[in-house]
Amino acid sequence: MHATLDSQVLKNAVLLACRAPSVHNSQPWRWVAEGTILCLFDDRYRTVPGTDDSGRDAIISCGAVLDHLRVAMRASGWHAKIKRLPDPHDPGQLASIEFSSTDHVTDTQRDRAEAILQRRTDRLPLGWPTFWDSYEPVLRHMFDDSPVTLHVLPDDARPLLVEASYRTEVVRRDDWSYHAELDWWTSPFVVKEGIPPSALASDKEHYRVDVGREFPIRSHDDRRLEVKVDRSKILVLSTPDDSKADVLRCGEMLSTVLLECTMAGMATCTLTHLIEVDESRDVVRTLINEQGEPQVLIRVGLAPPLENLPAPTPRRPLDEVLQIRR
């Protein structure tokens, strides 16, 4: 953060960055600005142990908000220099960031920041992404300088994913803490966190999405009837190993994929339930030919073009996530 950077620019960027997706919309992050440095911390009080025993989902979520912050600041004319895991004595500090002004902001950089506001996690059935073959090379180019690897699963791998998704639910069928957690984060009374009922698939819609987490049923709607069955492409992001640095980087690349797909007019849904249970993660590991450690899956497809954009899910107010130390 340069001395001439206005604090309101920083506040606006953090507010926009916090539109990033997180496990159950728990928003497990905390920002501290002091002097010329902005720091990102893992908010341990907001972790979800029933789902995320390893802490992996929370770190991925923080990686996504870190990249969203980079995108938001770049659109405001500031380049972010990120140092990841800067303090070995403070494992909760995930990144420190300094900013330098830039001479020019491109239309694409502005569009990418705008995509933060347009992106939604779409848990309904998605149509086939008809132009995927021409778009995939563009997306892969984003990974050229990243330790994270993008895998696009073939369509004939889907039955194995469906079986693995089912087994995940079977393993957790009697896990009361897991189900209590889902009940908490999907309460119909959510105000600034969690997943509102309108963002969940209903009992009827859920049966048309073969690979997805089973959330509590909160409605009996039957939306998007023209999409009879989910035909999304399924992507996997993997890392060389399970280090915190690798998982954080994976969250950053998750942000990149979601925003790039949004800019291309595609809908997305992040999936982590297949990674949280060893049995299903082993299946995903096999599907990517043991090329690293799978960290997250993403459904990518098309929503009906005339469908209204759903309301944004709630977020915590700025004063709960950002502290500015004078």
Check whether residue 165 and residue 259 sit in a common domain: yes
Q: Which domain holds residue 29?
A: 7-119+312-325
CATH no. for residue 137?
A: 3.40.109.10
For tokens 């030919």, name the residue.
289
Check whether residue 61 and residue 98 sit in a common domain: yes
Q: Residue 55: left (phi > 0), alpha (psi -120 to 50), or beta? A: left
Q: What is the pLDDT of residue 114?
A: 98
Check whether residue 156 and residue 292 sit in a common domain: yes
Check whether residue 144 and residue 191 sit in a common domain: yes
For the segment 82-107, what is each residue's pLDDT rounded down to a tens digit? 999 999 999 999 999 999 999 999 99
Q: Which residues of the chain have pLDDT under 50?
A: 1-2
Check whether residue 96 and residue 153 sit in a common domain: no
Check whether residue 292 and residue 144 sit in a common domain: yes
In a domain, 124, yes or no: no
Could you tell me the pTM of the whole model? Answer: 0.96
In a domain, 214, yes or no: yes
Check whether residue 194 and residue 114 sit in a common domain: no
Q: Considering its fold, how many domains does the chain have in total?
A: 2
Q: What is the pLDDT of residue 306?
A: 85
Q: What is the pLDDT of residue 217?
A: 93
For the segment 275-301, what is each residue's pLDDT rounded down to a tens digit? 999 999 999 999 999 989 999 999 999
Q: Which two tokens stand for residue 38?
A: 């902005």
In a domain, 243, yes or no: yes
Q: What is the pLDDT of residue 96?
A: 98
**Across the strands, what pairs with 238?**
149, 294
In a domain, 81, yes or no: yes
Question: Pairing between strand 37-42 and 29-34?
Answer: antiparallel
Check whether residue 177 and residue 284 sit in a common domain: yes
Q: What is the pLDDT of residue 1?
A: 44
CA–CA separation, 286 vs 118, rounded Å? 34
